[in-house]
């Protein structure tokens, strides 16, 4: 059985490795910039986009808007260390969920990804 493909976009190497470890049942491709993420989306079909909101070359919400221009179906989860994103902002872009980088991050990540991809 082929594993589902997840694109993880986060500028923190630690977070990219953590996501890969937590989501070991999936194939995770990790990049650290909005530009690299857009290149990856052109190459293949992902089952889920996991996007940090604070990227060195823009915001995760900007990236999500760009992805929604050509992919209205694939789930997107936004990850952030700051809770400054408003729910109506997420709804406007059809974001499927938000995960805070907190002490519950690993559990929330696992729960939300499994729920979206089952």
Average pLDDT over every residue of 72-87:
86
Residue 118 to residue 113: CA distance in whole angstroms: 8
Strand-strand pairing, 58-59 and 54-55: antiparallel
pLDDT at position 89, please? Answer: 83
Going by C-alpha positions, the residue among 92, 91, 84 that lies closest to residue 53 is 84
Look up tokens 């789930």; give the residue: 75
Average pLDDT over every residue of 96-111:
94
Size (the chain), residues: 118
Give bridge partners of residue 68 from the DSSP assignment: none
Has residue 24 got a pLDDT over 80?
yes
Q: For the residues of 92-112, what is the DSSP string, one character each?
A: HTT--EEEESSTTHHHHHHHH
What DSSP designation does 75 have? -
Predicted TM-score (pTM) of the model is 0.94
pLDDT at position 38, please? Answer: 96
Determine the straight-line distance between the first and last CA of the chain, rounded to whole angstroms.
14
Sketch out the chain's domains with CATH numbers: 1-54 (3.40.50.2300)
If pLDDT is split at 50, 70 and 90, which confidence band does 83 have?
low
Average pLDDT over every residue of 31-47:
94
């Amino acid at each position: 059985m082929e594993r589902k493909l997840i694109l993880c976009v986060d500028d923190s190497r630690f977070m990219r490795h953590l996501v890969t470890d937590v989501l070991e049942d999936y194939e995770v491709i990790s990049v650290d910039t909005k530009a690299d993420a857009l290149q990856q989306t052109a190459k293949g079909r992902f089952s889920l986009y996991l996007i940090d909101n604070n990227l060195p070359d823009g915001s995760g919400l900007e990236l999500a808007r760009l992805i929604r221009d050509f992919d209205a179906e694939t789930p997107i989860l936004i990850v952030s260390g700051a809770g400054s994103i408003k729910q109506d902002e997420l709804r406007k872009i059809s974001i499927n969920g938000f995960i805070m980088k907190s002490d519950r991050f690993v559990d929330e990540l696992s729960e939300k990804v499994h729920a979206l991809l089952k």
